[in-house]
Amino acid sequence: MEDTIFDKILRKEIPSDVVYEDDDVLAFRDINPQAPTHVVVIPKSKAAGFDRLQSLSPEVVGRYMQGVARAAEKLGLGEGYRVVFNVGRHGLQTVAYVHAHLLGGRMMGWPPG
Ligand code: AMP
């Protein structure tokens, strides 16, 4: 797997605005926010994308998903929020390290663009 910017953020080689961290996940503010709150959540065990989660154990994937929920709770998004996984070319994925976008702080639109 290629070494991505998120690998470097996880290794603390480049700075990021970390909002939540535990044994399973790292959550940091997106550098180009699309909502008042926009946080990226990555698992500490790497997969290259949502479409590569089969490479991880169900236990690790489950702990990742619970980590996304814990990060959202930490952000205090009581009015609700959106979780987005961009996948591949059509999904506009730009970083080959699976990441959940947590978006909140405003009313979302539907359908998404
Ligand atoms: P995606 O397009 O789903 O792959 O999302 C990648 C996201 O990473 C984009 O929303 C970028 O704004 C964000 N991003 C890229 N570099 C950084 C960085 N150094 N720190 C925080 N977020 C970043």
Q: What is the pLDDT along the chain (113 residues), one digit of tens a residue?
A: 899 999 999 999 999 999 999 999 999 999 999 999 999 999 999 999 999 999 999 999 999 999 999 999 999 999 999 999 999 999 999 999 999 999 999 999 999 98
DSSP state of 43: E
The whole-model pTM stands at: 0.98
pLDDT at 38: 98
pLDDT at 113: 84
Is residue 86 within 6 Å of ligand 1 at its C-beta? yes
Is residue 94 within 6 Å of ligand 1 at its C-beta? yes
DSSP state of 54: G
Domains of the chain, with CATH numbers?
A: 5-104 (3.30.428.10)
What's the half-sphere exposure (Cβ side, CA atoms, 13 Å) at 17? 9
Query: Separation of 3 CA from ligand 1 center, angstroms?
Result: 14
Asked, as a colleague might, if the bond just before 36 is cis with ω within 30 of 0, I would say: no
